[in-house]
Amino acid sequence: MSNQLGIASNIEDHDDLYQKIINMHQGLTNEESQMANAKLILMLANHIADADVLSESITLVRKNVLRWRNPILSK
């Protein structure tokens, strides 16, 4: 492993992937939907299998979500 988080786009059809994720939630309750998200995250984390990359990802995602919640913080 490279031990470095790659943030460059590697997905050719973003819209198709997004639709597949949305479709995964069809007919699920909110609790089931949250469980599906958690299971997908854990499955992909297991595939990545690099604690440093996963830790960096977690940090970046949290910062991004907090900026989205409060855009003033991003200045």
Six-digit token string for 67: 């900026």
Reduced to 3 states (helix: H, G, I; strand: E, B; else coil), residue 3 is: coil
Q: Which amino acid is at 9?
A: S
pLDDT tens track for 11-51 = 999 999 999 999 999 999 999 999 999 999 999 999 999 99
pLDDT-based confidence at residue 68 (cuts at 50, 70, 90): confident
HEC-encoded secondary structure of 15-38:
HHHHHHHHHHCCCCCHHHHHHHHH
User: Percent helix, strand, coil in the chain (nearest 5)?
Assistant: 70, 0, 30
pLDDT-based confidence at residue 71 (cuts at 50, 70, 90): confident
pLDDT-based confidence at residue 74 (cuts at 50, 70, 90): low
